[in-house]
Amino acid sequence: MVDKNIPLSEVFDVYAYRLVVEKADDGYRALGVVHSLYKPVPGRFKDYIALPKENGYQSLHTVLVGPYGLFLEMQIRTREMHRMAESGIAAHWLYKGDANKLSYSHEPTNEWLRDLLEVQKSAGNSLEFIDNLKVDLFPQQVYVFTPKGSIVKLPKGATIVDFAYAVHTDVGNATASARVDRVLVPLQTRLENGQTVDVITVEWARPNPLWLNFVVTVKARAAIRTYLQNFKKKEAIALGRRLLSRELHAHGIRLESVSEERLENVQKILQYVSLDALLEDIGLGNRLPFLLVNRFFLEENIVGSSCGETGMSSGPPLLIKGTEDMVTTRAKCCRPIPGDPIVGFFNPGKGIVIHVDDCKNVIKRLRQDKGWLDVQWDSDVKADFSVEIRLEVENKRGTLATIASTISMMGSSIEMVDIRDQNDEISLDFITFTVHDRTHLASVMRKLRKLQIVVKISRVKL
């Protein structure tokens, strides 16, 4: 059966024909016939039978140079494939049926619908679901391999993180780095057909909000958003518990010893549905713990007795572990790292902002802000932190490559290079890279200072 349709392209006229055959093998034979009659246009052949689209669409597409130089588009498919293309996936109602009864052509459709249902369940609202869905409709595909040889199908432009979540959500959530064809590459690397991808996972890894800037698949975006929403809540509750416990400890009270009746009474007065909701608000900086303790947990004769001008208690410092990314923020003005003496300030809705204690902004805030907090780094911090250095280097060929290789050799990763000024002799460069702590930074700077091309080096603090 031949169905002739003649649309008008914006670029050139294309006479389109659909050829419906009984079996897929007949389609390939028919393709060979038309290719022997007319010359195919390079790059315009698509085999959607062997590699179906994400929504289950199957067909052979080819564009030919026909008589008198006219372009002919030929679509070849079976009757079942034609019904799928014309009636759509909803007409089959297969996603509610027995998966064992699905034919090969139906399996991609069923898998796609299951993914849509999963995304719909995790989407925050209908607008977010529609935003996710429209990105995933009819994308161009790339096919990459796992280390064991399994094929993973992804939209064109997909990255390492998209691949990790396509393998499994838990793999995506624990992704730390990856190798493409045995070479370490950044997580934002876009994948190409035929590559072998090996994702490296670690227990302490977790999704980074910056991943949302480059992932392209709905599954990855939805999984990252869901994790971050839940993780921020858990982090806020944990930090709120530590802050409240610390404040009570300063007055000789253990949080565990406070009766449930008193806690319930506090929740009711402040109109919280649970203790976790109250702790979350404390962790996010919406409620200051010392005010809460003074109002609800201390007897009248000692209310405010241990509070100074700042309104904070003299209890032990709050330990910063470096993993509380969602509820603690390192100030951009001074970029504190483990080893730096630090002080914290409550930022309503976001938690605690950490500054180096000699930062010029700290002095201003200590005069004006009563919501500061005594903090210090935990002795066992396991994380990487961004720092920025200012370099005056000789302006000659290979200088930047030497600087980059030296930083990499010291176990740091460069995040950004900003060349501010150059002349024939000197180049002024600002480089942002990661370090473990102040000792690690000092080692990197000593190594750079020994290079003959380095004239001057210093750490940047605004």
Considering only 107-111, 224-228, 357-361, 389-393, which range has the smallest mean pLDDT? 107-111
Q: Where are the domains of the chain?
A: 2-89, 140-215, 226-377, 385-459
pLDDT at 298: 65
Which H, E and C letters describe the chain, residue by residue?
Answer: CEEEECCECCCCEEEEEEEEECCHHHHHHHHHHHHHHCEECCCCCEECCCCCCCCCCCCEEEEEECHHHCEEEEEEEEHHHHHHHHHCHHHHCHHHCCHHHCCCCCHHHHHHHHHHHHHHHHCCCHHHHHHHHHHCCCCCEEEEECCCCCEEEEECCCEHHHHHHHHCHHHHHCEEEEEECCEEECCCCECCCCCEEEEEECCCCCCCHHHHHCCCCHHHHHHHHHHHHHHHHHHHHHHHHHHHHHHHHCCCCCHHHCCHHHHHHHHHHHCCCCHHHHHHHHHCCCCCHHHHHHHHCCCHHHCCCCCCCCCCCCCCCEEECCCCCCCEEECCCCCCCCCCCEEEEEECCCEEEEEECCCHHHHHHHHHCCCEECEEECCCCCCCEEEEEEEEEECCCCHHHHHHHHHHHCCCCEEEEEEEEECCCEEEEEEEEEECCHHHHHHHHHHHHCCCCEEEEEECCC
419-461 residue pLDDT tens: 888 888 889 999 999 898 999 999 999 999 999 999 999 998 7
Q: Are 76 and 59 spatial neighbours (Cβ–Cβ below 8 Å)?
A: yes
- The architecture of the domain spanning 2-89 is 2-Layer Sandwich (3.30)
What's the mean pLDDT in 287-303?
64
pLDDT of residue 198: 93
- Whether pLDDT at 302 is above 50: no
List, for residues 197-248, the tens digit of each pLDDT value: 999 998 878 888 888 889 999 899 988 888 887 777 777 788 888 888 877 8
- What's phi and psi for 243, nearest 5 deg? -65, -45
pLDDT band at 48 (very low <50, low <70, confident <90, very high): confident
Query: Each residue of 76-106: pLDDT tens digit?
Result: 888 888 877 766 554 444 444 454 555 555 5
pLDDT at residue 306, rounded to an integer = 39
The per-residue pLDDT of the chain, averaged, comes to 78
Question: According to the model, what pLDDT value does residue 54 have?
Answer: 63
- CA 124, 126, 128, 132 torsion: positive or negative? positive
Q: Which residue has the higher pLDDT, 2 or 356?
A: 356
Mean pLDDT (whole number) for 304-315: 43
- The answer to whether the beta carbons of residues 92 and 83 sit under 8 Å apart is no
Average pLDDT (344-352) is 75
Q: How far apart are CA 252 and CA 248, in angstroms?
A: 6
Q: Residue 220: which of 277, 286, 159, 268 has the closest Cα?
A: 159
SS3 labels along 285-333: CCCCHHHHHHHHCCCHHHCCCCCCCCCCCCCCCEEECCCCCCCEEECCC
CATH of the domain spanning 140-215 = 3.10.20.30
| pLDDT given for residue 127 in this prediction | 62
Decide if 289 contacts 282 (C-beta within 8 A): yes
pLDDT, position 109: 61
Q: How large is the average pLDDT for residues 290-319?
A: 55
* The token pair that represents 236 in the structure block: 């806020």
User: Has domain 385-459 been given CATH number 3.90.550.10?
Assistant: no
